[in-house]
Structures are given as C-alpha cells and as structure tokens.
Amino acid sequence: MKIRHIDTVLIDSPGRKWTIVRVHTDEGLVGLGEATYSQKEPVVVSAIDHMKQELIGEDPSRIEYLWHKIYRRSSQSGIWRMTGPVWMSALSGIDQALWDLKGKAAGLPVVELLGGRFRDQVRVYTHFSGRTPEESAASAKHWVDQGYRYVKSGLQSKANYGFDPYLEDGWPEETAAHYVAAREAVGPDVGLLVDCHGRFTVGAAVRLARALEPCGMFCFEDPVAPDDLNAYQKVRRETSIPIMGSERLNTKTQFRQLLELDGIDIAQPDLVYAGGITEVKKIAAIADTYHVPISFHNTKGPVGTLAAAHLLASIPNEAPMEFVTGIEWRDEILTEPIEVVDGCLVVPDRPGLGIELNEEGVEAHRWNPGDPF
C-alpha cells in the first residue's frame, strides 16, 4: 500500500474550523486525522500541503519513520526540527490519519495497536458557565444531572476578559463565588476544574488558588503562561490544589522539562498541538515515570476527540479528558455518533479510529476559504 494523496476538509464549527486530514492510498483506504489549531486553520492547511510532498508514494504503515521524516527532514538541508504549534498540528493530523489507516488495514481499533485496552471507556469533563454565581450553579448541576462527574469553567469577572491580572481588582473573589455556588449545587463528589488560560502572574495565580481552595477543587489549569516553565512550580508550592498544564506545549521534550521542574500534578497535552498519537504516547510514558496522569486538552472536532480517546484508553495514567458539548449538529458529519454514557466516552471497537465521514453532513457544514471566519 502506498500514499496516493493527502487533502483536508474544513468544518465550520463555532470558534474553530475543524481541520480534518484525509490520507488516501492506492488501495482505496482513507485514513482520517484532525489538525484543528484555533483561528489558524488555513495556515495549518498550507503546512499540510507542504508536508504531503514528502509523503506521496510512501508506505503509510511506517508511522514512526514518516513522523520523523516530517519532523526532521522537511527542508532541503534536513537540519531543522520544526516544533511550533502550526507545524506540530499539521503533523498531528497526518499522524492520526496514519494510525487510522493502520487500524483499518489490520481490521483492528487503534487502541488495540497501542497495546490493547486498559479500559473500555474514558472519563470526560464538560463545561459550565454563568453570568452570576446562581447561573453557574444551575449550569454545573445541569451537566451533573446529565451524568458528568467532572465539570469545568473559566474565570469570572464583571469585566470578563478585560480585567488586568497585574492589578488584582477583585476577580479572585468573584470567581470563587461562582465555584462556591457550584459546589453547593453539585455536592462533594463532583470534580470541579478551573481554567486560567495561562493568563496570570505567579502572585495573581496564587491569590486565586487560595480563594478557591475551600471549594475542594479537582485541579487548577494553566495558571501561568508556559513561556517560563519555572512559574508553574512557584504556583504549585503555594497551593493545595493540583496544578494541570499545559495544552500549549508541543513536544515530549517540553513536557519532560516541566515534569523535571515538579511544575504539574496532571499533564495536559493536546493531541493535536503536540504531534499526534505517536508523540503524545511518549509524553504519557514520560509522565508515568513521574506518577503524573494525563488529561487531554480537547476542544476539537470528533476525529481528534476519538483519536485522544483511543490513546487514553490504552495507557495506565488516565485522568478525565475535556469534551465539548452543545454542538448539536456534530454527529451529522459522522456515519456513527460519538457515544457518551454516564460521563464516559465509549471507545469504538470498529477498525481504525472507528469514525467515518457522512459526506452529506460534511457538505452542509463545510467551510471554504473566502467564507466569513
């Protein structure tokens, strides 16, 4: 079997354009992957168009070799190692599609190719929100009533994202009020997560963490930007809330450095941003040597979601992964819907990633260059 062609399909989802990669073979099999990188999807498509020049005519089963061919050799001199988020997202989409192809050719789910099932389902968390603590409490309880045992929200402020973390103008207390209300609504056994989006100074992050500690938080996500990995350990040693990070890192080397610094309690790679199944499986193994579980950042479409689920189902160090709800038409682009039961995503036992596109649904939701972004 040889790679004949690689193309992309962009789906017009809210806030992002799901970038689905298709690797076509001369035997008619097509592998699917996802390369969605928020608001930069057309640039990622251009990177994929560049990468495919290296892959046409290659044997798609040589996944590790092809991964390194792209990572190390996509320049005439062959000396560059391209690790930026756009490049790694493009590589990730191709990598997932190669794993999908390998599973389809073998007649096996990808999870079986990764060592077999450690579990049949993976825990997921979804998101709650509200303009007031009462609204946040009602939103959190709604999702718990739907079966989710973990729910996450962001920071709350009357100024929304307009507040200045350097000024610390009352937003920690505002955020804590939402979580106090949510905790009262969902009870003591539901995991509450807060996403800081890497926005804060160490001092501001510590102040927020201390305001949230009485709420019995499951984790404190990305309190500081990953530009300075040392900042994570500074926050971690000042709070009892487990620190999770970081979706913005792109390689196993960056995660190893963060783990060496004792900066996190939960590792949060994004399968799309960090090089796909091939690279993130290694990140999970490194994290396991530090007794650190993996919780995938996952704000992507259904292809990336299932790729992450297959990998998470195969490793021992699993923590709940992110799952976006509220896109009611998502399953219209699929021949089989994603199945979530009692807050767990069921890993399909169909070959490959267990996902195929419904072309009629794809055409109904396709985004084309030139359309409003």
Catalytic residue annotation = 161, 197
DSSP codes of every residue in 7-72? EEEEEEETTEEEEEEEEEETTS-EEEEE---TT-HHHHHHHHHHHHHHHTTS-TT-HHHHHHHHHH
Among residues 284, 283, 277, 281, the alpha carbon closest in space to that of 352 is found at: 277
Q: What is the largest CA-CA distance in the chain?
A: 62
Q: From the CA atom positions of the chain, what is the Rg in Å?
A: 20
Nearest to 330 by CA among 123, 8, 20: 20
Neighbouring-strand partners of residue 191: 150
Spatial distance between the Cα atoms of 193 and 234, rounded to a whole number of angstroms: 20
Residue 187 DSSP class = -
| Backbone region of residue 116 per phi and psi (left: phi > 0; alpha: psi in -120 to 50; beta: other values) | left
Distance of CA 105 to the CA centre of its chain: 26
* 189 CB neighbour count, 10 Å cutoff: 8
CA 201 to CA 314: how far, in whole Å? 36
User: 352 vs 97, 99, 188, 307, 324, CA distance in Å?
Assistant: 9, 7, 39, 9, 22
